C-alpha cells in the first residue's frame, strides 16, 4: 500500500481528477490497440487487401496522437475506425444480399455452402463488435483530451509527476 493510506490505482484527492486519470488510461489502451491494428492491417496488406493501407496510416496517427496527446491525430484514427465500422456493415449487407438475392447463393453457378456463409457472418459480426469497441475507446480518448486540454494532458504525462499525483505504483 502506498504511503498515506491510499490504495493502488486510487486517485489522490486534489491533485489529479478522475477524468485526467481516465484520459491517461485510455491513452495507454489506444496505443496498444493502435499497435495491434498496425500489425493486423499490415498482414492484410501482405495477403492482398490493399485497402487496409488506409487503416495502417490511421493506426499510426492514433499511436502517435495518443503518445503526444495530439487531438487531430487521435480524431483521424477515430474517424477512420468509424468509417471501417460502416464499411464492415456494408460488406455484411452486400454478402447477405448476394447470398439470398434473386439468383441465390452468390451466383447460381458458384454456390456457397450454408456453412461458409454462416462462418463468414460469425467472423464479420465478431469483427464488427471489436471494431465498434475500438472506435468507442478512441472516440472517448479524443473527447476527454478535448475536455481537459492537450496542454494539461501533456503536463500529466510527466511520469514522475504522475506517480507523485496518483498512487498507481506499488
Which secondary-structure segment (H or E) carries 32? helix 18-46
What is the reported pLDDT for 29? Answer: 93
What is the reported pLDDT for 99? Answer: 79
What is the reported pLDDT for 122? Answer: 93
Does residue 2 fall inside a structural domain?
no
Does residue 167 fall inside a structural domain?
no
Virtual torsion, Cα 7, 33, 122, 46, nearest 10 deg: -150
pLDDT, one tens digit per residue, over 55-64 is 999 999 999 9
| Domain containing residue 57 | 18-159
Structure-block grid coordinates of residue 58: 490511421
Strand, helix or coil for residue 107:
strand
Does residue 8 fall inside a structural domain?
no
110 has a pLDDT exceeding 50? yes
Does residue 7 fall inside a structural domain?
no
pLDDT, one tens digit per residue, over 13-42 is 457 788 888 888 899 999 999 999 999 889
Does residue 100 fall inside a structural domain?
yes
Positive or negative torsion for Cα 119, 125, 128, 134: negative
**What is the crossing angle of helices 18-46 and 53-68, to 10°?**
150
What is the reported pLDDT for 10? Answer: 52
7 has a pLDDT exceeding 70? no
101 has a pLDDT exceeding 80? no
11 has a pLDDT exceeding 70? no
Positive or negative torsion for Cα 50, 55, 57, 59: negative
Please give the residue that has the higher pLDDT: either 103 or 97.
Answer: 97
Q: How many domains does the chain have?
A: 1
**133-137, long-range: CB within 8 Å, 24+ apart, which pairs?**
134/33, 134/37, 134/81, 135/78, 135/81, 135/82, 135/84, 135/85, 137/26, 137/29, 137/30, 137/33
Does residue 166 fall inside a structural domain?
no
Does residue 57 fall inside a structural domain?
yes
Amino acid at each position: 500500500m502506498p504511503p498515506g493510506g491510499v490504495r493502488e490505482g486510487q486517485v489522490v484527492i486534489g491533485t489529479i481528477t478522475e477524468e485526467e486519470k481516465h484520459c491517461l488510461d485510455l491513452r495507454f489502451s489506444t496505443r496498444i490497440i493502435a499497435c495491434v491494428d498496425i500489425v493486423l492491417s499490415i498482414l492484410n496488406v501482405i495477403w492482398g487487401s490493399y485497402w487496409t493501407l488506409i487503416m495502417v496510416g490511421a493506426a499510426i496517427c492514433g499511436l502517435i496522437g495518443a503518445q503526444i496527446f495530439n487531438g487531430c491525430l487521435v480524431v483521424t484514427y477515430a474517424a477512420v475506425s468509424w468509417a471501417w465500422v460502416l464499411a464492415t456493415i456494408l460488406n455484411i449487407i452486400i454478402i447477405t444480399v448476394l447470398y439470398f438475392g434473386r439468383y441465390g447463393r452468390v451466383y447460381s453457378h458458384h454456390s456457397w455452402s450454408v456453412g461458409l456463409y454462416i462462418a463468414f457472418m460469425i467472423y464479420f459480426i465478431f469483427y464488427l463488435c471489436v471494431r465498434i469497441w475500438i472506435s468507442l475507446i478512441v472516440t472517448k480518448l479524443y473527447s476527454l483530451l478535448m475536455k481537459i486540454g492537450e496542454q494539461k494532458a501533456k503536463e500529466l504525462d510527466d511520469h514522475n509527476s504522475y506517480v507523485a499525483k496518483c498512487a498507481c505504483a506499488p
